[in-house]
Amino acid sequence: MSNVFAQRRQKLLSMKALRGSSPAPAHTEETCPACGGTFRRRDLVMARYVCPLCGHHYPIGAYYRLSLVLDKGTFRELDASLTSNDPLSFPGYATKLDSARRRTGMNEGVVTATGRIGGQKVAIGALDSRFFMGSMSAALGDKVTRLVEYAEKYKLPLILFSASGGARMQEGILSLMQMAKTSAALEHFSQKGGLYISVLTHPTTGGVTASFASLGDIMLAEPGALIGFAGPRVIEQTIGEKLPEGFQRAEYLLEHGFLDAIVPRTQLRDTLLQLLKLHGKGGSDRAK
Amino acid sequence: MRNNLTPAQRVALARHQDRPGTADFIDALFTDFFEQRGDRLCMDDGSILGGVALFHGRPVTVIGHRKGRTLEEHLAYHFGMPSPEGYRKAQRLMKQAEKFGRPVITFIDTPGAYPGLEAEARGQGEAIARTLAISSALTVPVISVVTGEGGSGGALALGVGNKVLMLENAVYSVLSPEGFAAILWKDSSRSDEACDVMKLTAADLLELGVIDEIIPEPEAGAHTDLRAVCRALDPVLTRELNALSKLSGQALAAARYKKFRQMGSNALRKERP
């Protein structure tokens, strides 16, 4: 019986993962924005949206992201209904929110869920750059905080995939406060001995970088991901010169000591399996 | 208290070149200040000023942004925009305050964290995130005072207090009005318009539950009479310190968690998935 539900859940996740991806037929020719090489769309999809020629990682949606790492049929979404109520009555925001909701089929720029990886239950979330650039709204901050609290309550390892343009401007100071809220939740979780694996994907910037994305016990990133606090344009204006090649890319951060490893998308599930095996359940009772 | 200034006029007052800074408040409110420098990792960032001082005879750790008073200082301190080393110094002082059971008082006055190449290379995002995490769990009282410009994550890093006070003409926002206008409307010259919609004044933030209390300023702004500002601020600090000092370390951390946990909880609604 539970098998039937698992199949249903898997089907639902697959459908959500496909939504929003380009409807182009499989034989269409694609050009890689990084290397300019061409290949069939089918090959790109088969390679999990990694360029088969140069390894460029295309941005992917949150549901698809989670479907790549979770055991089949184990995805159960949390707080799917939470969304913003336009707290500052910001001109034009409500309309934009509606259209983003319709376009993506999501209520916010993060999907949070429980699921299993290699049989180990985890609390897991992924930001989605198609929804307001994955920017931090009060609802996004709240969903992340709820996920951290859920992981703490049920002593689960926590995995978060970040992809964000930074703050949600239309929510002003309330967006800013989510940095404190999510960081406080993670500190609490950490003091209880919880394991948090943070995976940075392209792009992770601004308030998300300066809060939950940077606080992982284990810090991973996808190849070539842009990761930083200030955006490259702002820095160029400040220092009045061109930035060096590769600045703020995952490889640069690894070199400067802010990442444990860069993991290609195709190896991500295996790396998570290994890390979960090395840490056991997480949520040690020995912590203060 | 006057309510007739526009948000843009308050931004101008908050940025006034004679606006009292952290160093001025330390001189006026504390005695025996001993400045502590350096992050113990690689350098000292003067744009964060910190140390130990006495507040009515009681030892406290003071940490604040420092814009500097002369052009030389402005340049050395990047106009009060900290680099990661500044935030790591703040973390060090916070942990030391906890070790010695000293309350922490922070003064916020920055356009934002410094957006430079070295700052990024040395982990500006990580430094701010870690400061937020550490300050959220401190087992000593933390009181934050927004005295001038509270710009972005660079300001918030010193703003996770059990109580957050704000001077009447100070401003506190997700980004500078210029940056806000540039991002949202691709036109930084529309900053006055941004001021009107950003809800960055003390009155707006009190209503939104982001701050707890407004400290009144003299008619023409804090820079015209620092002593009057301190006459208003001192008793509030005293009252809040006395009240917070009665709580256990666990209770202080729990209260701070709860305070920031509810930030934006009125900004949510449910929609069918």
pLDDT tens for each residue of B51-64: 999 999 999 999 99
The answer for A 6-65 residues in CB contact with B (under 8 A) is none
Residues of B in contact with A171 (CB under 8 A): 174, 264, 267
Q: Which of B133, B264, B272 shows the shortest C-beta gap to A183?
A: B133
Q: How far apart are CA A141 and CA A165, in angstroms?
A: 14
Q: How far apart are CA A95 and CA B245, in angstroms?
A: 47
pLDDT at residue B30 in the model = 98
Q: How far apart are CA A43 and CA B9, in angstroms?
A: 58
Q: Which of A90, A190, A209 shows the shortest C-beta gap to B125?
A: A209
Residues of A in contact with B197 (CB under 8 A): 88, 90-91
Contact B267 A190 (CB under 8 A): no
Q: Does residue B1 register a pLDDT over 60? A: no
Helices (H), chain A: 2-18, 41-46, 62-69, 93-104, 138-153, 172-191, 206-209, 232-239, 250-255, 268-279
pLDDT at residue B3 in the model = 62
pLDDT at residue A284 in the model = 52
Residue of A177, A192, A243 to mutate for B, most B C-beta atoms under 10 A: A177
The answer for A 80-109 residues in CB contact with B (under 8 A) is 80-85, 87-88, 90-91, 101, 107
User: Could you tell me the two tokens for A179?
Assistant: 């940095």
**Reported confidence tier of residue A280, pLDDT bands at 50, 70, 90:** confident
Q: What is the pLDDT of residues A95-137, one digit of tens each?
A: 999 999 999 999 999 999 999 999 999 999 999 999 999 999 9
**Residue A103 CA: distances (Å) to CA of A67, A110, A162, B213:** 20, 15, 21, 42
Contact A172 B132 (CB under 8 A): no
The percent of residues above 70 in pLDDT, for chain A, comes to 95
Q: Does residue A21 register a pLDDT over 70? A: no
CB A262 within 8 A of CB A250: yes
3-state DSSP call for residue A17?
Answer: helix
Contact A173 B200 (CB under 8 A): yes
Q: What is the pLDDT of residues B82-105, one digit of tens each?
A: 999 999 999 999 999 999 999 999
For the ranges A246-250, B187-191, B252-256, the lowest mean pLDDT is seen at B187-191
Complex-level ipTM beyond the 0.95 threshold: yes
Query: Strands of A261-262's sheet, edge to edge?
Result: A76-78, A110-117, A120-127, A158-164, A196-204, A218-221, A261-262
The answer for A 128-147 residues in CB contact with B (under 8 A) is 137-139, 141-142, 145
What is the average per-residue pLDDT within B240-249? 98
pLDDT at residue A20 in the model = 58
Is A160 in CB contact (< 8 Å) with chain B? no
Instruction: Indicate the length of chain A as a whole number.
Output: 288
What is the average per-residue pLDDT within A205-212? 98
Closest alpha carbon within chain B to A107: B273
Q: What phi, psi does A141 have (nearest 5°)? A: -60, -40
Q: Does residue B266 register a pLDDT over 70? A: yes
Measure the N-to-C terminal CA separation of chain A; round to a whole number of Å: 41
Helices (H), chain B: 7-14, 22-29, 71-76, 84-99, 117-121, 124-136, 152-156, 177-185, 191-198, 202-207, 226-245, 249-261
Residues of A in contact with B151 (CB under 8 A): none
**What's the one-letter identity of residue A224?**
G
Q: Does residue A288 register a pLDDT over 60? A: no
Q: What is the pLDDT of residues A153-169, one digit of tens each?
A: 999 999 999 999 999 99
Q: What is the pLDDT of residues B123-147, one digit of tens each?
A: 999 999 999 999 999 999 999 999 9
User: Could you tell me the two tokens for A109?
Assistant: 């720029």
User: Could you tell me the two tokens for A142?
Assistant: 């709240």
Shortest Cα–Cα distance, A134 to chain B (Å): 15
Residues of B in contact with A184 (CB under 8 A): 132-133, 136-137, 160, 256-257, 260-261
Q: What is the pLDDT of residues B30-53, one digit of tens each?
A: 999 999 999 999 999 999 999 999
Q: Is the peptide bond before A203 cis (omega within 30 degrees of 0)?
A: yes
Is B174 in CB contact (< 8 Å) with chain A? yes
The percent of residues above 70 in pLDDT, for chain B, comes to 99
For residue A71, count CB atoms less than 10 angstroms from its CB and return exposed for 0-12, middle for 13-18, buried for 19 or more. Answer: middle
pLDDT at residue A282 in the model = 57
CB A178 within 8 A of CB A141: yes
C-alpha of A273 from chain center: 18
pLDDT at residue A223 in the model = 98
Q: Which residues contact B89 (CB under 8 A, 6 or more apart)?
A: B36, B37, B38, B39, B44, B45, B48, B50
Q: What 8-state DSSP symbol labels residue A249?
A: B
List the beta bridge partners of residue B24.
none
Q: Which residues contact B66 (CB under 8 A, 6 or more apart)?
A: B21, B22, B23, B46, B47, B48, B49, B73, B77, B80
Q: Which helix (H) or strand (E) holds B113?
A: none
Residues of A in contact with B271 (CB under 8 A): 81, 83, 101, 107
**Residue A283 CA: distances (Å) to CA of A118, A123, A142, A213, A277:** 18, 12, 21, 19, 14
3-state DSSP call for residue B22?
Answer: helix
Q: Which of B133, B257, B271 shows the shortest C-beta gap to A81?
A: B271
Q: What is the pLDDT of residues A36-63, one digit of tens each?
A: 999 999 999 999 999 999 999 999 999 9
Q: What is the pTM of this model?
A: 0.96
Pairing type for strands A158-164 and A196-204 reads parallel
What is the average per-residue pLDDT within A180-198? 98
User: Could you tell me the two tokens for B235?
Assistant: 């008793």
Is A112 in CB contact (< 8 Å) with chain B? no
pLDDT at residue A160 in the model = 98
Nearest to B177 by CA among B47, B16, B9: B9
CB A33 within 8 A of CB A99: no
pLDDT at residue A1 in the model = 54
Burial of A224-240, coded b for 16+ CB within 10 Å and e otherwise, reads: bbbbbbbbbebbbebee
Q: Does residue B2 register a pLDDT over 70? A: no
C-alpha of A141 from chain center: 13
pLDDT at residue B44 in the model = 97
The percent of residues above 90 in pLDDT, for chain B, comes to 93
Q: How far apart are CA A56 and CA B207, in angstroms?
A: 47
Residue of A106, A183, A255 to mutate for B, most B C-beta atoms under 10 A: A183
Handedness of CA B197, B203, B207, B211 (dihedral sign): positive
Contact A229 B175 (CB under 8 A): no
CB A234 within 8 A of CB A66: no
**Reported confidence tier of residue A196, pLDDT bands at 50, 70, 90:** very high
Is A213 in CB contact (< 8 Å) with chain B? yes
Contact B273 A80 (CB under 8 A): yes
User: Could you tell me the two tokens for B16?
Assistant: 């006034």
Q: Does residue A22 register a pLDDT over 70? A: no
Nearest to A70 by CA among A110, A112, A42: A112
Q: Does residue B17 register a pLDDT over 70? A: yes
For the ranges A8-22, A158-172, A224-238, the lowest mean pLDDT is seen at A8-22
Q: What 8-state DSSP symbol labels residue B42?
A: S
CB B256 within 8 A of CB B160: yes
Q: Does residue B118 register a pLDDT over 50? A: yes
